[in-house]
């Protein structure tokens, strides 16, 4: 993935401008992206995705759009692999792909990864896979990478 000197600033500015960030409760092998929000002075509302794996992604998306449709919204999306094209692979259930496909196009999608989740190889993208606008790599520090489609 390509790193740009101003990508941290770009994502920080986008997050500060957001009215709402949709986050998640991290599983043991997922990074906690909310620390990045607090380090970058995010003062908006945080909404978390349902923890019940049987919840309807479309219903959750419809409720978000109803409540926040005209606002600036950023979605933090965990995954098991990301590549330089913004392709994201999850856990295989498709919940996030169905959820993201039901959201307005203008809502920012930020993949959240640990360093070993970032692939140097191009990942296969299926027709239902929803590409990320940015990937936030969480290690001791945070690093923002820009998928090739946003360069």
- At 151 the pLDDT is 54
Give the residue numbers of the binding site for ATP: 88-96
Would you say residue 35 lies in a domain? yes
The answer to the question of residue 22 being in a domain is yes
Give the annotated binding-site residues for substrate: 30
Q: What is the pLDDT of residue 148?
A: 63
Structural domain count of the chain: 1
In a domain, 2, yes or no: no
In which residue ranges of the chain is pLDDT below 70?
A: 1-7, 142, 145-146, 148-151
Residues spanned by the domain of 47: 7-150
* pLDDT value at residue 58: 96
> Is residue 72 in some structural domain?
yes
- Residues 6 or more apart whose CB falls under 8 angstroms from that of 10 comprise 4, 134, 144, 146
Q: Residue 4: its pLDDT value, please?
A: 44
> Which residues participate in the annotated binding site?
30, 88-96
Q: Indicate which CATH number applies to the domain containing 74.
A: 3.40.50.10420
Residue 1 lies inside a defined structural domain of this protein = no
| Whether this model's pTM surpasses 0.75 | yes
pLDDT given for residue 3 in this prediction: 47
């Amino acid at each position: 993935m390509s790193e740009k000197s101003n990508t941290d600033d770009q994502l920080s500015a986008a997050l500060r401008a957001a009215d709402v960030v949709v986050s998640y409760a991290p599983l043991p092998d997922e990074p906690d992206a909310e620390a990045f929000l607090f380090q970058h002075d995010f003062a908006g509302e945080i909404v978390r995705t349902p923890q019940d794996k049987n919840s309807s992604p479309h219903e959750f998306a419809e409720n978000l759009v109803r409540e926040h449709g005209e606002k600036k919204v950023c979605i933090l999306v965990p995954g098991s692999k990301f590549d330089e094209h913004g392709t994201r692979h999850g856990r295989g259930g498709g919940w996030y792909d169905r959820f993201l496909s039901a959201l307005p196009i203008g809502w920012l999608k930020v993949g959240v990864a640990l360093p070993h989740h970032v692939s140097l190889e191009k990942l296969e993208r299926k027709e239902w896979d929803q590409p990320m606008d940015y990937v936030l790599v969480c290690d001791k520090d945070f690093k923002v990478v820009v998928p090739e489609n946003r360069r």
